[in-house]
Structure 1
Amino acid sequence: MAKGDRKRALRGRAGRMQGGRGSGRAGTGQVRLWGRHAVEAALKNPDRQHRKLWATREGAASLDGELPPDFPIEYADTPDLDRLVARDAPHQGLVLECAPLEDIHLDEVLSGDAARPIVVLDQVTDPHNVGAVMRSAAAFGAAALVTQDRHAPPEGGVVGKAASGALEVLPWVRVVNLARALEDIAEAGYWRIGLTGEADSLLAGALPAGPVALVLGAEGPGMRQNIAAHCDALARLPISDAVESLNVSNAAAVALYAVAARA
């Protein structure tokens, strides 16, 4: 199955297990994305229903490929676009209004390619961090990002800008109960590794040969105790004592590289 067909199939099937986006997303409302990479990726995504594009002449010219002749576009000056986005958001002359992506359910991911890791975030609420994790996850071929619906940012412009296009290609599963989701992940044959600086084992020694799910907690509090208890192993990254910890998005990138580079 081609990549695009596979992605549409994942988004189109009804999930039998928990998952999908709920209160943490825009629901039936609109989503605004901004920035060249986020907007360009959304325009190329056949799963997106596009409503309208606001753009400066320079912003529209920076897009890779031409828009359809009947595409709803309104040219505007930079100050006009500033009023459409979050304060001081770097929109690069492009603001796209579109419908939210359809829900993706956990069982749809677990029935896919088990060789690709799954990234699980426990109460990481900063949209910049979530977007940056998505970007790294997509870069290293992860199968999906899994978050708890109530403790994750909604799909939107800040996440999309930080993800730099990954929002359109990486399945994002939002679940009601993260511990139960980890149980489902284990039943599918994944080894669940929780990353924490207090662990005795290094990540390299904890990595198995088979499917892996990486679990990361929010900066500061880290993983909740119940989530750590649902991991098969806890591991840390080999960082210097000169630095107390890494940003969660940086830690995810390093861990994903370790998974991709394992022998």
Structure 2
Amino acid sequence: MAANNRRMSGKKGAQVGSGGKRRRGLEGKGPTPPAEARKGHAKQRAAQAKSRRAQSRTKGPRAKGTSELVVGRNSVVEALREGVPASTLYVQQFIDSDERVREALQLAAERGGINLMEAPRPELDRMTNGLNHQGLVLQVPPYEYAHPEDLARAAADEGVDPLIVALDGVTDPRNLGAVVRSVSAFGGHGVVVPERRAAGMTAGAWKTSAGAAARTPVARVTNLTRALEAYKKAGIVVVGLAADGEVELGELEALGGPVAIVVGSEGKGLGRLVGETCDYRVRIPMPGGTESLNAGVAAGIVLYEAARRRR
């Protein structure tokens, strides 16, 4: 009997008193929260994802993207000359140095705040996706897009009529870079691009612009049609380029005044709404029979004509 008592005494039994724990456990915890407020619930995850998407849409055209690369000796030197913000200058190991390489190194050292990194050629090839970097690669912060009103305001500050180019559906960054370069060459005040389904200021655009992007602003808009309508209200004539345009380029007197030139893609041309917004639809005479020109060439021709009239 004593042995049985010892075995029983080793077992865990009920404690004397619960300190009210059982009573509190029986108390209600209030109404069950909605699914969206319950941690880990599928509806809560869906609501959080929806909120993140809404926040990303409200960032607008000035939102920053990822870091960009300026590639090639001429482009890098021009960017450094114009004070483009830069974080790192990559220089190829055992590079065949010339005056551009020496100037790039000197400018980076004089500006300060730019890291100098030596890298083997395969690493630079990988960074630039095989572009012809010529041994120099400049990493710059995400591009800061201007507002379309900034372009017209810059012209007003100079006391001249605005000369602006807008691109509709141009998706090749090299075409954007070529347009930026032409705008700079002929005294334009900037380029306007849509936020979606259009090329942005990538490293490829920087390279094609040959450094002109450092001094020619690019504005990005969520709706190109509304931006053009705002220009019209400000007294700027909107001229669209179209193969079947009603007016020939040489006959358009409006190019001598405040004007926004709209260039569409080589394949589709101007979109319907954008075309309807234009005050004039202009064609470039091409006696050689070519049906169309790419955006960079077409913009350069019209910008030359506008600059000629302004002189």
TM over 0.5: yes
Q: CA–CA distance in 1 between the matches of 2:292 and 2:145? A: 33
Cα drift, residue 60 of structure 1:
7.5
Q: Residues of 2 paired with 1:197 and 1:29: CA distance?
A: 37
1:193 to 239, 245, 251: 239
Match of 1:146 in 2: 192
Partner Cα distance (1:134, 1:120) in 2: 10
Aligned equivalent of 1:54, options 68, 75, 90: 90
C-alpha deviation, 1:207, in angstroms:
3.1
Letter in 1 for 2:247: S
Matched, 1:72 2:110: no
Residues 66-215 of structure 1 mapped to structure 2, 5 A cutoff: 66=106, 67-68=108-109, 71-87=114-130, 89-113=131-155, 114-208=160-254, 209-215=256-262
1:128-164 residue CA offsets vs partner (Å, 9 max, x unmatched):
1111111111111110100101122232211111111
Q: Which amino acid aligns with 2:192?
A: V
Take 2:202 and 2:79, find their aligned partners in 1: how far apart are those partners?
A: 12
For residue 247 of structure 1, what is the aligned residue in structure 2? 294
Give the distance between the partners of 1:188 and 1:60, measured in 2 at CA.
49
- Provide Cα deviations, 1:56-89, integer angstroms capped at 9, x if missing partner: 23367524361316641112333221111023x1
| Aligned CA distance change for structure 1 residues 144 and 52 (closer, same or farther; 3 Å) | same
CA distance in 1, matches of 2:74, 2:237: 33
Q: Count residues in correspondence.
A: 240
Do the aligned partners of residues 59 and 249 (structure 1) sit closer, same or farther apart at CA in structure 2, a change above 3 Å counting? farther
Alignment RMSD (CA, Å): 2.1
Structure 2 equivalent of residue 260 of structure 1: 307
In the alignment, what sits opposite 2:38?
none
Distance of 2:73 and 2:117 partners within structure 1: 16
Aligned equivalents of 2:86 and 2:71: distance in 1?
A: 13
SS of 1:124's partner is coil
**What CA distance in whole angstroms lies between the structure 1 residues aligned with 2:201 and 2:244?**
32
Query: Larger Rg: 1 or 2?
Result: 2
Distance change in 2, residues 1:154/1:60 (3 Å): farther
The code of the aligned residue for 1:35 comes to G
Whether the aligned pair in 2 keeps the contact of 1:219 and 1:247 (CA below 8 Å) is: yes
Match for residue 32 of structure 1? 69
Q: Deviations over 1:15-44 (max 9, x none)?
A: xxxx8444xxxx253111111222122223
Aligned residues of 1:103 and 1:173 also touching (Cα < 8 A): yes
Choose 101-110 or 137-146, whichever is displaced more.
101-110
Structure 1 stretch 77-86 or stretch 117-126: which is displaced more?
77-86
What is the distance in 2 between the residues matched to 1:41 and 1:187?
36
Task: Normalising by structure 1, report the TM-score.
Answer: 0.84
Q: Is the 8 A contact 1:100 1:155 kept in 2?
A: no
**Would you say the 8 A contact 1:59–1:93 is kept in 2?**
no
C-alpha separation in 2, matches of 1:119 and 1:110 = 11
Bigger CA drift: 240-249 or 169-178?
240-249
Q: Alignment partner of 2:247: what SS?
A: coil
> Could you list the runs of 4 or more consecutive aligned residues of structure 1 that deviate by over 6 angstroms after TM superposition?
none
Stretches of structure 2 that go unaligned for 5 or more consecutive residues are: 1-59
Partner residue, 1:9: none
More displaced stretch, 212-221 vs 78-87: 78-87
How high is the TM-score relative to the length of structure 2?
0.72
Secondary structure at the counterpart of residue 185 of structure 1: helix
